[in-house]
Amino acid sequence: MSFDVIIVNYNCYEALSSCLSGLEKWEPAKINTIYVVDNSRKPVSHDMVRRFPKVIWLANSKNVGFAAAVNHALAKATAPYVCLLNPDAVISGPLWGPLEEWLKKNAQVGIVGPKILDADGSVQGSARAFPSLSTAFFGRTSLISRLWPDNPFTRKNILSAPSLRKPISVDWVSGACMIVKRSAVKDVGTMDQRFFLYWEDCDWCIRFRCAGWKVIYHPEIGPVIHHAGQASKNARWLALYHFHRSAVLLYWKYDRTPARIGSLMALAGATLRFAAMGLKLALS
């Protein structure tokens, strides 16, 4: 049993049920322990606990954020590898066996991300380059990327192209499903809890790479189906705010421009984007 699984839940019980059912279906013997860290306001139902008796439920009295919740479970993990999995993501085929074999042959890999698909079957942009100012216009969810996904600027930002067949080294992979080597976590440290929600996965991957560990996107492993947005639909304003706050924090943390002008530009851009998206959300 080589893998522990950590799922952070926030009022997402219907999707969580599908996620846990997927883990029960595919290679359950490879899984050591499943931890569900619940940041929800109300406790998990007794019916849910009865349906998944092998799950260890870690309930928080308040929403402590994603990074803090992951760190809570990481402190309890004992398996050689730990998989972070969103509650709105579902394992859809053999994952653990091929992954374990590949990781044993690639000892310098600290983090690996499998192929992730959107609900419509298209390849999700789960492997990316370090965000820059162009990411606001050519990132995974930008209008230009949705209308013209094959443009060169989007391809530079999003590395998980549908045509990709072999593992590649990337700046970072999505925390919707990432597998980390626990011995590498001891070397690098746990997630930065200043990131309440979003971008903590990017920050973690950067720290792994700076410590000499490889971050790999492996399109032959998976796929995992990610029903993106389900985990945050019950708190859209909270998610919108923290997405932009964490983006600015990420820029600030790694900014090497004179007088942190890059961070100031990121703050201005994030403020404008937050206002525009907030207005759209208010009118929807």
List pLDDT tens digits, range 227-266.
976 655 557 888 889 998 999 999 889 888 887 787 777 7
Residue count (the chain): 284
Question: Looking at the predicted structure, is the pLDDT value of residue 138 above 70?
Answer: no
pLDDT for 93:
86
CB–CB of 32/78 below 8 Å? yes
The alpha carbon of 170 is separated from its chain's Cα centroid by a whole number of angstroms, namely 14
pTM: 0.89
Q: CA 231, CA 14: separation in Å to the nearest integer? A: 10
The mean pLDDT value for 42-59 works out to 90
Which has the higher per-residue pLDDT, 214 or 248?
Answer: 214
pLDDT at 235: 76
Most trustworthy range by pLDDT among 26-35, 147-156, 258-267:
26-35
> How high is the pLDDT of residue 85?
98
Is residue 273 within 8 Å of 244, Cβ to Cβ?
A: yes
Average pLDDT estimate for 178-194 = 97
Residue carrying structure tokens 């799922």 = 7
Sign of CA dihedral 149, 116, 103, 200: positive
User: Which residues, at least 6 apart from 64, have a Cβ–Cβ distance to it below 8 Å?
Assistant: 39, 72
CA distances, 106 to each of 101, 165, 181, 279 (Å): 9, 17, 11, 47
Mean pLDDT taken over the chain: 87
Domain 3-231 indexed as CATH 3.40.920.10: no
- pLDDT of 140 strictly over 60: no
Q: What is the pLDDT of residue 216?
A: 97
Higher pLDDT, 158 or 210: 210
Residue 69: pLDDT above 80? yes
Kindly report, as residue ranges, where domains of CATH 3.90.550.10 are found in the chain: 3-231
Kindly tell me if the per-residue pLDDT of 72 is higher than 90: yes
Q: Is the peptide bond prior to 223 cis by the omega test (within 30 degrees of 0)?
A: yes
Given this model, what pLDDT does residue 265 score? 79
Chain segment 110-128, per-residue pLDDT in tens: 999 999 999 999 999 898 8
Residue-wise pLDDT tens digits, 215-229? 999 999 989 999 976
pLDDT higher at 238 or 133: 238
Backbone angles phi, psi at 207, to 5 degrees: -65, -40
CA–CA gap between residue 112 and residue 160 (Å, rounded): 13
More confident residue, 169 or 231: 169
Lowest mean pLDDT among 157-161, 236-240, 274-278: 157-161
